[in-house]
């Protein structure tokens, strides 16, 4: 078994996909009118489903909200230029949480929240 995709439930799939294109430079794979969209992120996809689509599947969940505490997980993107990626995401509407900081294991890490309130880590690749 392998991880195929992660789906985040959002109020507006198109706005979220557009935000991820602008803030993180991702490319959309597709957006369907039913309220589902996927981003190209490598082998594992990042997907968004509308709240309506998620609830139509009988799924209950805690909705992420921009002004509430972030859900208890994060999305992490790696880049060789963390500082520029942080600035780009904030310029596109992400809320800054923590500016780039060097971790004891050598990785440069920062955090923002997306337009839905999800926590996004931007970090340098981890080198063992």
Assign domain 5-123 to its CATH architecture. Roll (3.10)
Residue 63 confidence (pLDDT) above 80: yes
Residue 75 confidence (pLDDT) above 90: yes
Residue 33 confidence (pLDDT) above 90: yes
Q: Which residue has the tokens 């609830």?
A: 55
DSSP-based three-state secondary structure for 32? strand
Name the β-bridge partners of 119.
74, 113
Residue 119 confidence (pLDDT) above 90: yes
Residue 59 confidence (pLDDT) above 90: no
Model pTM?
Answer: 0.93
């Amino acid at each position: 078994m392998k991880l195929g995709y992660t789906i985040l439930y959002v109020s507006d799939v198109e706005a979220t996909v557009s935000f991820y294109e602008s803030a993180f430079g991702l490319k959309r794979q597709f957006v369907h009118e039913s309220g589902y969209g996927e981003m190209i992120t490598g082998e594992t996809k990042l997907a968004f489903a509308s709240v309506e689509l998620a609830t139509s599947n009988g799924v209950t969940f805690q909705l992420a909200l921009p002004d509430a505490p972030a859900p208890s997980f994060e999305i992490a993107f790696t880049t060789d230029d963390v500082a520029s990626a942080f600035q780009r995401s904030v310029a596109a509407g992400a809320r800054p949480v923590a500016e780039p900081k060097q971790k004891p294991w050598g990785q440069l890490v920062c955090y923002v929240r997306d337009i839905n309130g999800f926590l996004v880590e931007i970090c340098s690749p981890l080198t063992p």
